Structure 1
Amino acid sequence: MSLINIDTLKTLELYHKDEGYNQAALLLSDNNTFCGIDIAKFGESISIIKERNTIEKESILKQFDDAMVMFKRYYQYEEIKTAYRKAVEILPENAFREALVNAIIHRAWDVKACINVAMFEDRIEITSPGGLPQGLDESEYLKGGVSILRNRILGSVFYRLHLIEHFGSGVKRIMDEYIGNMTKPQFFCSENAIKVILPVLKQDNLLTPDENSVYTLVKKGYASSTDITKNCPFGKNKVVNILKILVTQGYIRQTGNGRGTRYSL
């Protein structure tokens, strides 16, 4: 901190002449006692751990960088074609970066728990302690455009460093990284945590013929199970079961419940 001009710290709202350094300043410092990021790479099952790191007691900026290094180690590689090297992404780096930054700046720092990053062969799950900020419901969170920052000062610092874009655009930016991909990210909100599931990229259609029939109808805009059934060669029970499978695997999204349940990409 001593290397940074006090006036700069005041401008960033990290220091006040009467109160000294605040919590945001401590989180950005190179030595703090806050919980950090618990990140693990699993093999074919959760009982097989290839690598695990608990990143803490250092600046959240350094924690972010360390997590990105581990991400690149497992989800990026170079492919040589003729005389050229081509960078290949198994999972969109921009989507992971956005989800991780959001977990850091929106988490509840008074909760004694780490951000959990679980890396699997087919997905990454990022769980952030603390639910949605007061005044923001799940539908507004998913739709985007409304931003209620739990940690406003941290958000401002990350914005100045170009690590995030416009506030309230995180979910949309993540979804945009999966345009044209069969599987889509999933978002789960509870009172105590927010979980984001990022699937690996699947350009090929791995669905069964029946699953593909239902998926195609959802893609065309048929939103209810009743409308989908009317355009399928099989009954409603099978349609509902297939819809559940597509939702679980991240191919489609489900909103509402009961007769108001709707499906979309």
Structure 2
Amino acid sequence: MKFKESITNTFLKTVSAFANYGDGEINFGVKDDGTVVGVKDPVQTCLNIENKINDSIRPQVDYRLHIDEQTNVITLKIFQGLYPPYFYKEKAYKRNDSASVPVDSLELSRLILEGQNCSYDSLPSHASNLHFSILEKALQKKIGIEKLTPDLLITLGLREKNGKYTNAGALFADENDYRGIDLVKFGDNINVMLDRAQIEKVSVLKLYQDALQKYRQYYQNEVIDGAYRRKNEQIPENAFREAIANAIVHRTWDVNAQIKVAMFDDRIEVTSPGGLPKGLSKEEYLAGQLSILRNPIIANIFFRLGLIEQFSTGIQRILAAYADSKTQPQFSIFENSIKIVLPVVKMELQGVSEDANEVYSILQSAPLSSSHISQETSFSKNKVLNLLEELIQKGYVVKICNGRGTKYRRSK
């Protein structure tokens, strides 16, 4: 809401800003401190406001005027337009704190795309002579195609009928000019880098695959216990997959910036360029109730390949991976970036001791013997047996077989 004591042309900048980026109100006859003073001759003032808007803003904006007959305050309600950008004196404006300022060239290009109902990944690319062996192998494996033909590239939105590739085509090509992922494994603090991988100028599928490989290197191990082979995950793989896929699919690709993946002993931070798409609130984003696709072509191919499921379920799937964990993911949303923090899982069962929770956290997929649990926890075998009995009594763990072959697994 914006307050105006008198009528000057500066309010037209705010009209442009609200029409471009979201509904808003301007109250005429109210001082900046909120003091109501009203306007003289409100009917004539409304006519003046209408004339100024109709003569100065292009294209025409949708607005409503209302006069409070008791206070003589005029409320101008501006609605977000369907065909941005909306210009005042050949400039498009946005709100910046309490001021209306001109948008920069990047923001203007995004407004133009929005007004044309286009996405960046659908625009023609300057790239030529592209190759798609990585995508072709993925499609052969997932949906059984024989060859990635030019017609199929057109169907997928990677190429136009005139032979030119789209930006999505360049992003899926084996080699391209896009900055990808900057992945760092840190030691005890951010001053200690144990490993760094600059994954860039390659297919977005390779970005996904290489990031997943690094995750498995540092946060997964395979344990053999008798006849069983068990995968131990410090951080749920499903959660990391979703975080990386979301970063690739939903980031802004029209900026020269990398996805940042920071790996620590107790967490992974995934930061992607670009805030939320226009029209999507933080609450809707976190609840997974609405999905506005910034890059629909990229999202569709990731969906076809099974790398993402429904377009609006990513955050909910991350949360589901931590359903039984004491530690929970964190989501930070900024104007120009989104950060997802995936902590190491720590189980917390109700009504049992902290040590019993530690034992339960080790029991993941395959049944384990008490000896193996003792090795992983550093608890004595007798203590492990007592903790297992505590978990059995509470219904969290079940015993399989008896005697020397006795093993234990989660009850659910």
Give the Cα separation in 2 of the matches to 1:21 and 1:83.
52
Q: Shift in Å at residue 19 of structure 1?
A: 6.3
* Cα distance in structure 2, aligned partners of 1:139 and 1:19: 42
Q: Does 1:51 align with 2:195?
A: yes
Distance 1:82 1:88 in 2: 16
Give the aligned partner of residue 177 of structure 1: 321
Deviations 1:86-140 (A, max 9, x none): 1100100000000100000100011111000000000000000000011111111
Letter aligned with residue 15 of structure 1 = R
The structure showing larger relative contact order (alpha-carbon pairs under 8 Å, at least 6 residues apart) is 1
* Structure 1 residue identity aligned to 2:181: I
- 3-state SS of 2:340 partner: strand
Query: What one-letter code is carried by the residue in structure 2 that aligns with 1:51?
Result: D
Question: Displacement of 1:15 after TM fit?
Answer: 1.1
Measured in 2, the distance between the counterparts of 1:204 and 1:47 equals 32
What's the offset of the Cα at 1:80? Answer: 2.7
Unmatched tracts of structure 2, length 5 or more: 1-130, 133-146, 350-412
RMSD over equivalenced CA pairs, Å: 1.6
**How far did 1:48 drift?**
1.2
Deviation at 1:44, TM superposition (A): 1.2
Number of residue pairs matched by the alignment? 206
Paired residues of 1:32 and 1:57 also in contact (CA < 8 A)? yes
Match of 2:286 in 1: 142
Residues 222-261 of structure 1 correspond to what in structure 2 (within 5 A)?
none
Which residue does 2:331 correspond to in 1?
187
Does residue 107 of the first structure (1) align with residue 272 of the second (2)?
no
Separation in 2, partners of 1:86, 1:56: 33
TM-score with structure 1 setting the length: 0.75
Give the SS at the match of 1:98: helix
Name the counterpart of 1:76: 220
Letter in 2 for 1:153: I
1:121 pairs with one of 256, 265, 268: 265
Question: Offset of 1:83 from its aligned partner?
Answer: 4.0
Q: Is the Cα–Cα contact under 8 Å of residues 324 and 348 in structure 2 kept in the other structure?
A: no
- For residues 163 and 341 of structure 2, the distance between their equivalents in structure 1, rounded to whole angstroms, comes to 40
Aligned counterpart, 2:306: 162
Amino acid at match of 2:187: G
1:68 and 1:9 map into 2 onto residues whose CA distance is 26
Q: Secondary structure at the match of 1:116?
A: strand
Who wins on radius of gyration, i.e. which is larger?
Answer: 2
How much has 1:204 moved relative to structure 2?
A: 5.1
Shift of 1:17: 1.4
Structure 1's unaligned 5+ residue stretches are 206-265
How many Å separate the matches in 1 of 2:211 and 2:337?
A: 20
Calculate the TM-score normalised by the size of structure 2. Answer: 0.49
Which consecutive aligned stretches of 4+ in structure 1 deviate over 6 angstroms post-superposition? none
Equivalent pair of 2:243/2:270 in contact (CA under 8 Å): yes
Q: State the Cα deviation string for residues 35-86 of structure 1 (Å, max 9, x = none).
A: 1000011111111111000000111101111111110000000123234331
The one of 169, 173, 186 aligned to 1:29: 173
Q: Which amino acid aligns with 2:156?
A: L
- Hey, what does 2:12 align to over in structure 1? none
Is the CA contact (8 Å cut-off) linking 1:38 and 1:55 kept in structure 2?
A: yes
Question: Is this contact kept in 1: 2:270–2:340, CA < 8 A?
Answer: yes
Separation (CA, whole Å) in 2 of partners of 1:106 and 1:156: 12
Distance 2:214 2:327 in 1: 23
Structure 2 residue identity aligned to 1:142: L
